Amino acid sequence: MIFRLENTTSAEVASRLVIVREEGGVVALGRVLTLIVLAFGKSNVDAAIEVTNAASREHPSRVIIIDTAGGVGADGLDAEILVGGDAGASEVVVLHPRGAAAVDQDTLVTPLLFPDTPIVAYWVGSTPHNPSGEPVGRMAQRRITDIVSGITDSASSDEARTCFRALGENYRPGDTDLSWARITLWRALIASSLEQEAGELQSVEVHGAPDRPSMYLLAGWLGSRLGVPVHVHDANSTHITRVNLNLPSGTISIHRPDGSAVAAILRAGRPDQRTNLPARTVKDCLMEDLRRLDADDTYAAALAHAVRTL
């Protein structure tokens, strides 16, 4: 069910939300956090509604989505309230500020914050270079960016690297990027592969897409945790395609062809192994990142190492 309000205020939206909840029998109890999504433009707003609806089934939330592209016309605010089947297990408020109403985002959302719950900020379609310095970022205990959603087709590699460096230089506890969750399965597979081998790792090679931070984060994680040289290579692909782990006894090569959900683990003198290694969806990554609200020291170390060696 969707309720639309035109030329309104945040306080009026909050009051209407209470009425909608009471009349429709929507239960507010059980909300575990307030998720503020800053989405640039209609396509990203629609994508944010879809992904937060899916994530809400694991993390029931009050979701506040701000269209940061700004509207045309006189200063003001339009809004939508989504409940029931249109909001997953959450209640969703979509704000469309125009002109000056879009300037003070923290003031805009304050009347709508769910009381006594943590605040998470999530950017879609644009990535701030200093998330904790943004108005909503200063309010949040957890700040989630997605560089991939914010880069354009032209000069995307340069955009990704520039944004990635900025996130590293401005990192504050509570920051993370969805690119970190995208490599969770890679990290687990690499760790299990190394457990079965004798001898110390000598070096690593990571092959992937230069416009995807995941490749640099995986390299930073390996370098920071193992203290070995890690080299990245452009694989002319859209994802990480290969990781070579070089040991005294030979090389373990984990190869996942671009577009495939299956990886081959290759070792000299042993039968090839195959295992599922699908590319993770945004929904999966967001659900993982919402499971923790504290600082992720492992991500911080991987990010710092990657930025130093990029």
| Concatenated DSSP letters of 88-116 | TTSEEEEEEEEGGGGT-HHHHHGGGPPTT
From CA 278, how far away is CA 16, in angstroms rounded?
Answer: 42
**What are the tens digits of pLDDT across the range 120-141?**
999 999 999 999 999 999 999 9
Phi, psi of 289, rounded to the nearest 5 degrees? -70, -25
Residue 207 identity? H
pLDDT above 90: residue 310: no
pLDDT at 151: 75
Percent of the chain with pLDDT over 70: 95
Q: Out of 10-19, 29-38, 228-237, 272-281, which region has the weakest mean confidence (pLDDT)?
A: 29-38
pLDDT above 80: residue 183: yes
**pLDDT (mean) for 78-98:** 86
pLDDT above 70: residue 74: yes
DSSP letters along 202-260, please? Answer: -EEEEEE-TT-HHHHHHHHHHHHHH---EEEEE-SSSS--EEEEEETTEEEEEE--TT-
Q: Write down the domain spans for the chain.
A: 2-177, 181-282
pLDDT above 60: residue 154: no
**pLDDT (mean) for 204-208:** 97
Residue 280 identity? R
Local confidence band at 119 (pLDDT 50, 70, 90 cut-offs): very high
Local confidence band at 24 (pLDDT 50, 70, 90 cut-offs): low
Alpha carbons within 13 angstroms on the beta-carbon side of residue 134 total 27
pLDDT above 70: residue 31: yes
77, 47 in Cβ contact below 8 A?
A: no
pLDDT at 249: 87
Q: Out of 22-26, 41-45, 51-55, 290-294, which region has the weakest mean confidence (pLDDT)?
A: 22-26
- Cβ within 8 Å of residue 109, ≥6 positions away: 10, 36, 64, 66, 95, 136, 139
What pTM does this model have?
0.92
pLDDT at 285: 96
From CA 120, how far away is CA 37, in angstroms rounded?
Answer: 8
pLDDT above 60: residue 296: yes
From CA 290, how far away is CA 32, in angstroms rounded?
Answer: 10
289, 199 in Cβ contact below 8 A?
A: no
pLDDT above 90: residue 32: no
